[in-house]
Chains A and B, each alone.
Chain A
């Protein structure tokens, strides 16, 4: 099926990783990246189309969730800076103070 084609799954994977990198909180960001990578790696050899479709649906829901949640986790982190770990890349910097409060409505899926 076109929806579960290899290209589609790969593009979902790339999108998920791209969105996960936008979490302001170090712990959520690293967890999301790790979990997405491990989940895709684990299900790499699944053949059954029904299972594949279900997994793709789950991935898409996860993507929507990350897109919603990274907004609601930006608000409390205004001014948040975490201890710089030697191996990691940027911590939370660059969140400027004039981010206005946006409430994410998960019914309409958008930002109201």
Chain B
């Protein structure tokens, strides 16, 4: 914060010096000051070309194959899938069940374990609030991380207000959690652990398989003990369902991971998983929640009504959207390897070209344990918002869509320990199925050009070039 105000003051004070470059700088500074650090939304002008889309973590365009699958259900087969008395209902229901199977096949689950929701936010809310409230008699503790999505953190905050204890685990500098710390944090009264598979801002992939499997061993002893007790108790005709309950449930928000990395809920020993439709080239407004049946996990439903979706989420299932989600999942399963290869090649190209062209660029997050399509780079001595404004031909974002409205730097970057000034100058490049090499090259060229231009205007950069250590400067004298 201080660096920014100081740089503006310095630039302002230099306006008296006659220098053709600085007069442009001065007008640029004035523009920045006028626009008040927030990029204002505006309508594109008449012949203004649309920007290139490089924000695949915010949302993705729908694949034409998905649209093709959805259209008949928007136009012709418009029945309510819960109508049991006529062909419109029956055909809608069969389409919905087919979609459910397609979603289940992608993650290695049974179709009966999938519940359609309105998106990953609703699935996350259902998981956290549902599990916590159902088991609240005995279990009062929830564990999550500091880099979770806003909906998870907000739900946990609501749970705190309801009287639960929530632990927000810190992450290491590379964005991964410490497994030992997680082990120590789990208490006998922990009901839920929620950790996202792939982070939407820095692209880091958490070791979900290790966490899930370590859980299983952590309390499997208890499970066997309970089975032993239950077998004895059955002899005495005591009901066994209490004894089969698992100790801790494991929820993962896989919105950014589904369809991009191979997922198998049985390998990973995950109990609940949130899926988002519009992150895997499907329609917006639909998502799914995976709820394990063996051993059964119970949740308290958030939405009450006619008992659709096994009573867990009442409300008409939007058939066209569900069909779209199913088609998107099937396409993702077929194209997973091809897309992953394509995205990796492009992401490496982007990062290597930028790093070769300009110095002082930091890649946030672990370089190996990551999904390659989400590249978060911090450009030192450049302000993130000014860079975004300068790159107006490319649709990018700094931080996630839900935090871009505020002036604060992203909490995820703060959690991984980046310095304040580097956190302000971070940009997230999203690469997906439809990105081309030409788009990446154009973005790199523009980015390098603008970063060089902005750095030339920055007095901090001048000081660094002269060899002064920025961190050793005392900015204020009083």
Contacts and interface: CB of A to CB of B under 8 A. Distances in A.
Contacts of A27: 53, 61, 434-436
A18 interface: no
B93 to A, nearest CB: 18
Contact of B47 (A73, A81, A104, A105): A81
A43 interface: no
B328 to A, nearest CB: 15
B72 interface: yes
Given A83-B51, A106-B68, A30 B338 contact: no
Contact of A28 (B47, B50, B434, B435): B434
Given A85-B439, A107-B72, A91 B49 contact: yes
Interface residues of B, number: 25
Interface in B409-456: 433-436, 438-439, 441-442
Most B C-beta atoms less than 10 A away, residue of A65, A66, A83, A103: A83
Nearest to B341: A38
B67 A69 contact: yes
B71 interface: yes
Contacts of B53: 27
A80 interface: yes
Given A31-B433, A87-B438, A82 B68 contact: no
B68 A69 contact: yes
B65 interface: yes
B477 interface: no
Contacts of B433: 31
A103 B50 contact: no
A72 B71 contact: yes
B75 A69 contact: no
B50 A105 contact: no
B71 A106 contact: yes
A83 B391 CA distance: 12
A53 B67 CA distance: 26
A35 B331 CA distance: 13
Nearest to B71: A106
A86 interface: yes
B121 to A, nearest CB: 26
A72 B49 CA distance: 21
A72 B70 CA distance: 12
A88 interface: yes
Given A65-B68, A72-B71, A107-B76, A83 B50 contact: yes
Contacts of A68: 68
A38 B339 CA distance: 12
Interface of A: 23, 27-28, 30-32, 34-35, 38, 65-66, 68-69, 72-73, 80-88, 91, 103-107
- Closest A-B pairs by Cβ, 5 of them: A27-B434, A69-B64, A85-B438, A83-B49, A81-B49
5 contacts: A28-B61, A82-B49, A83-B393, A85-B438, A85-B442
Interface of B: 47, 49-53, 61, 64-65, 67-68, 71-72, 75-76, 338, 393, 433-436, 438-439, 441-442
Given A28-B434, A86-B438, 11 more contacts: A23-B64, A27-B53, A27-B436, A35-B338, A65-B68, A81-B49, A83-B442, A85-B439, A106-B72, A107-B72, A107-B76
